[in-house]
Amino acid sequence: MQLKILGILFVISVLAIVTVSASMMLPTDDNAKEHARAPEHSPVINDDWGLERIDFIHYVWGTKPARVSAEKCYKLLGVKWKNTPVDYTINPINSDNLSTDFVTSTISTSAETWDAVTSTELFNNDYLVDYNAYYGVQNFINAISFGDYPDDNVIAVTSVWYTPVGRQIVEFDMLFNTRFMWGDALLNSGVMDLQNIATHELGHGVGLADIYSTACSQVTMFGYSSYGETSKRSLEQPDITGLVKMYGA
């Protein structure tokens, strides 16, 4: 009889733990995809960390219907970095013959754009270059790279891993889709502007979600872009307001 009672109590305890864990899961945006395709060699996340992952998909403008609604034009993920500045690693290999100097300096400029509006040093001024860094490998390395994403309407994707307990970001990975031509749109309006997209994606890396309302189409965290666009190189007030709420003025 005692064993039966203990067994029932154990089941109740497990159900309670599962319920709490589910309630802590971060909701995705309408156009975000959870558990996007990652490389097969991505290691299994250690259960002791209890990590969860959310993927943000950056679409080509016009490929998905935008919402028309009144919003404050920023949205927080509900998780952030607890220890800053954050290191990041760039794999500059690309299919457009962009130089390593161009790729690394452009991404660094995008990172500093976020640093400039908060007293918190979010990104380390020094970055690593690693030609073997991959998107989607959960290894506590913030990897930024180019690669083929199997959707012609997806410009880039950023994956964020976080701990539900403590709501702390532990890693982000970023992928620029090589199905697009990349470069500097100020020099060639026919390319996807690397600085424009990198600035947006790094916003996810520090804890901001996508915005999809057409009323907010001018903010950096608006979830659609197009060839030749450069407006996301700089931050708008809603982007800054959201960042400051997390990391201070």
Helix spans in the chain (H): 2-23, 100-115, 194-205, 237-247
Residue 3: inside a domain, yes or no?
Answer: no
The CATH number of the domain holding residue 234 is 3.40.390.10
Residue 42: inside a domain, yes or no?
Answer: no
Q: Report yes or no: 56 and 204 within 8 Å, Cβ to Cβ.
A: yes
Residue 83: inside a domain, yes or no?
Answer: yes
Per residue in 112-130, pLDDT tens?
A: 999 999 999 999 999 999 9
Domain count, the chain: 1
pLDDT at 67: 67
Higher-pLDDT residue of 174, 28: 174
pLDDT at 48: 55
Residue 4 CA to residue 17 CA, distance in Å, equals 20
State CA 114 to chain mean position distance. 14
Per residue in 56-78, pLDDT tens?
A: 999 998 776 666 665 689 999 99
Find the distance separating the first CA and the last CA of the chain, reported in whole Å: 61
Residue 152: inside a domain, yes or no?
Answer: yes
DSSP state of 233: G
Per residue in 149-202, pLDDT tens?
A: 999 999 999 999 999 988 999 999 999 999 999 999 999 999 999 999 999 999
Residue 37: inside a domain, yes or no?
Answer: no
- The verdict on pTM exceeding 0.85 is no
**Which residue reads 């690309």 in tokens?**
94
Taking residues 135-157, what's their average pLDDT?
Answer: 97
pLDDT at 29: 38
Q: How far is CA 134 from CA 117, 139, 146, 176, 248, in A?
A: 29, 10, 9, 11, 32
For 105, the domain range is 52-247
Q: Report yes or no: 95 and 134 within 8 Å, Cβ to Cβ.
A: no
Q: How confident is the model at residue 54 (pLDDT cuts 50, 70, 90)?
A: very high
pLDDT at 11: 31
Higher-pLDDT residue of 187, 25: 187
Per residue in 208-217, pLDDT tens?
A: 999 999 999 9
Q: How far is CA 91 from CA 15, 126, 128, 195, 239, in A?
A: 43, 14, 9, 15, 27
Residue 228: inside a domain, yes or no?
Answer: yes
Find the length of the chain: 249
Residue 18: inside a domain, yes or no?
Answer: no
pLDDT at 65: 65
Residue 196: inside a domain, yes or no?
Answer: yes
pLDDT at 249: 87
